[in-house]
Structure 1
Amino acid sequence: MHNNKRLPLTCVLLASLASTGAQAEIKLHDDNQTTFSTDGYINAFYVHNDVDRPGDQFDRRQSRVKMGFLPNWLGFNFSRQAGDLKLGARSSFWVTINDSETNGTETGIDVRQFYGTIDGGWGQVLIGKDFGLFARSNILRDELLSGFGQASDTLGLMDGSGVSFGNIGTGYPYPFPSAQITYRSPQQHALKVAVGVLDPYDSNEVGGTGKAYQSAPRFETEVSYQTSLGATELYAWVNGAYQTSENTDGSVEDVTSRGLGYGVQAKLGDTSLTASGFNAEGMHPLFSNNLGQANLREIDSKGYLVQIGQQIDKFRLALSYGRSEDDGNLLGGEADYENKAVLLSYAVNDNLKLLGNFSRFEIDDKQAGEIESTDTLAVGATLSW
């Protein structure tokens, strides 16, 4: 199979969630078996947060104008037929719309995808930077992807200049973009397999007298299956990650990090049901690449996410409940993280959507009780091509 028309996976999902039509890239060049195209996404929300934390020091109501769970991006795609092979490439530039009070116009450009692909009848090989495989379908099948979701004050999201978290930390960790070499099986089969070696991360002692190191890369994989059972469309997946991290200081314990993600989505007409979850050990419960270099331990975390979506003409209504439990790698003690949300969207046309999203996010320390309860109302629009 020589079809390597590879939009970014977030574009693919947004197209599947759109209430009318399908999103398509804009071709800038198409000649002599060579194509060059662009796609993009812009969004902004009026956001009102109501924070309740122990004592009165942090309790407040805050109004912002921010982007949602997805940043804004501009992407470019290249493909060329070269004999029996189809060569492709993608670069995407993700942009925050919020500047900093301390650094002025700090609008950052974040390159989350920069890779090449080689396609043949045997499948595809990707080389470069792309999202990880562990928890990949968990996040891409989230109904809140084009919405806002949770914005925890404890985690620094309410006043930050970045994105909200959707259901990151309340159902799945974020499959961070990483340097990788990944093989994918041919696309024509209902069963699809992806296997990759990724750049590893330090998960044991970062400072001190020794040096953390990894004698093997990180291994990640995802197996998915898509079929139809009568009038029901079914998509199921299992993904995972594994790596070890050692230290030249013999007194520092090695850390083995392993994660398992899974889920199923069923669509019957205009109704969709999604259930997913994960179990992990020795991994950051928010970020698959240990952003911030926490000194991780072989401590467990787990979570699940259940959602129902209903399409009514140009409207889409989604109800969401997500929960993660971490035994101590994030805050140092056992805590539960929970997000209840409702999302209502209206597709003005194929490229423009209006959205309203309400979420209640809670953190409960298993010893000290409630740490935070934050209500978030976000109303905005998304523009895509």
Structure 2
Amino acid sequence: MKSAQFFTALLACLVVLAISTPASAEIVLYDKEGATFGVDGSFNTFYVHSDSDNEIADTDRTQSRVKMGFLPNWIGFNFSKQVGDLKLGGRSSFWVTINDSDDLNGGTHGITDTGIDVRQFYATVGSDWGQVLLGKDFGLFSRSNIFLDEILLGYGNVSDTFGLIDGANVSFGNIGTGYIYPMPAAQITYRSPDLAGFKLAIGLVDPSRTTTGPNAEEDMPRFEGELTYNYKLANGNITAWAGFLHQQSESDTEDIDSTGISYGIKARIAGLGLHASGFSAEGVGLLLGPGVDTVLGIPLTEAGDELDSNGYLLQASYIIGNARVVGSYGKNELEFELVDELENETVTGALFYAVNDNFNLVAEYNINEISSGGAEEETKTIALGAIVNF
């Protein structure tokens, strides 16, 4: 792997990336004759101090920033209407970065040139037989891995290697150190009704271009799915899941099959929470999945064979009054035959304090280590933040 070209591409492309969550709270603005309209949103800001010792780029520096956390600042609009036996609905969510005060990376993102991104824009049609989603939403592969992450409201990993420390870029939570991001995409997805705690989601997803040769094509959509199981306890609950991804991209010079499975279990009993999840894939990448990792310069193949990637995330948390203490460890690997593996791992300790249902405070310490080609970068980060939801 040509490290200089690889990381230059990452630095150039990772200007704005974050994740938005489905509505967790909602203000209903209209509810009449079977039709409803509501709005929800979230605002967060962190003071961040990062210390990077980077053998890969031969740099050693500290940086202080005021930025948003792993979650963006976002606003969402929700619609529903009962029409006969069908319940029609929809959601549109938009997030806004506040990481636009300064750009030290030489990119095109200018001062106060705020980016607005649409992560969800879909309609739903549902009845007793389940629900069909039509539009743009997060993928199903690794979906529960990330939405059930204990530090979803925190800050997470950053590094100079992936261009995430300075002002215009974002934090990655546990993206690349535990799971692959379920990139939002156009899709047609069926979700089953609850059957004894089981729910199945199967989607036809707009495929990603992973080949770079002439006459590149995808003659089939990408297939993704996830089976979840929820079991309620007297003093808690257990959630387990398994997902998959499969797609093919072809050209005159190469064919790439991208396949993967994601899985996990999360339990909360009284104040104790435990999370264990992971994935195993071929031709999928390390960070953001097939297609996007290709654009970023992360190889999906080596000598004509799809590269294996895998990762896992282990977490424990405990709730004491309004406080939640979290310990987290995650790691991703991209396996090569001819060069050293690309490894990315993160250790996180975090304290979340709920002032009330709509206002949370966060204190987090994170150590991220990346190794590539025999060189390493270690980044230590302290993040102090506040989150307001409605």
TM-score with structure 2 setting the length: 0.88
CA distance in 2, matches of 1:71, 1:127: 24
Match of 1:299 among 299, 304, 307: 307
SS class of match (2:145)? helix
- The equivalences for 1:95-134 within 5 A come to 95-99=96-100, 100-101=102-103, 103-134=110-141
1:93 aligned residue:
94
Taking every aligned residue pair, what percent have the same amino acid on both sides?
51
In the alignment, structure 1 segments of 5+ residues that lack a partner are 1-7, 16-23
Q: Which amino acid aligns with 1:323?
A: K
Residue 10, structure 1, aligned to residue 21, structure 2: yes
Q: Which amino acid aligns with 1:318?
A: V
Is this contact kept in 2: 1:243–1:258, CA < 8 A?
Answer: yes
Is this contact kept in 1: 2:220–2:248, CA < 8 A?
Answer: yes
CA distance in 1, matches of 2:177, 2:353: 26
Change (3 A) 1:382 1:231: closer
2:382 aligned residue:
377
Q: Which amino acid aligns with 1:313?
A: G
1:241 aligned residue:
245
Residue 351, structure 1, aligned to residue 358, structure 2: yes
Q: Which amino acid aligns with 1:48?
A: H
- The equivalences for 1:1-385 within 5 A come to 10-11=21-22, 24-54=25-55, 57-99=58-100, 100-101=102-103, 103-187=110-194, 189-205=196-212, 210-228=214-232, 231-247=235-251, 249=252, 252-291=253-292, 293=295, 294=297, 296-297=300-301, 298-328=306-336, 333-365=340-372, 368=374, 370-385=375-390
Is this contact kept in 1: 2:178–2:278, CA < 8 A?
Answer: yes
RMSD (CA atoms): 2.0
Q: Deviations over 1:224-282 (max 9, x none)?
A: 111135655211000010001001x2xx1200000100000111101110000000100
Report the more deviating stretch, 375-384 or 226-235. Answer: 226-235
In the alignment, structure 2 segments of 5+ residues that lack a partner are 1-18, 104-108
Q: Which amino acid aligns with 2:329?
A: Y
CA distance in 1, matches of 2:316, 2:238: 14
Report the more deviating stretch, 48-57 or 272-281. Answer: 48-57
Q: 1:78 Cα deviation (Å)?
A: 0.4
Is this contact kept in 2: 1:29–1:36, CA < 8 A?
Answer: yes
CA distance in 2, matches of 1:139, 1:373: 23
Count of matched residue positions in the alignment of Structure 1 and Structure 2? 359
Q: Which amino acid aligns with 2:112?
A: T
Is this contact kept in 1: 2:278–2:313, CA < 8 A?
Answer: yes
Is this contact kept in 2: 1:96–1:162, CA < 8 A?
Answer: no
1:21 aligned residue:
none
Is this contact kept in 1: 2:231–2:238, CA < 8 A?
Answer: yes
Q: 1:162 Cα deviation (Å)?
A: 3.5
CA distance in 2, matches of 1:201, 1:266: 34
Is this contact kept in 2: 1:221–1:241, CA < 8 A?
Answer: yes
Is this contact kept in 2: 1:204–1:296, CA < 8 A?
Answer: no
Is this contact kept in 1: 2:346–2:367, CA < 8 A?
Answer: yes
Q: 1:187 Cα deviation (Å)?
A: 3.4
TM-score with structure 1 setting the length: 0.89
Q: Which amino acid aligns with 1:219?
A: F
SS class of match (2:144)? helix
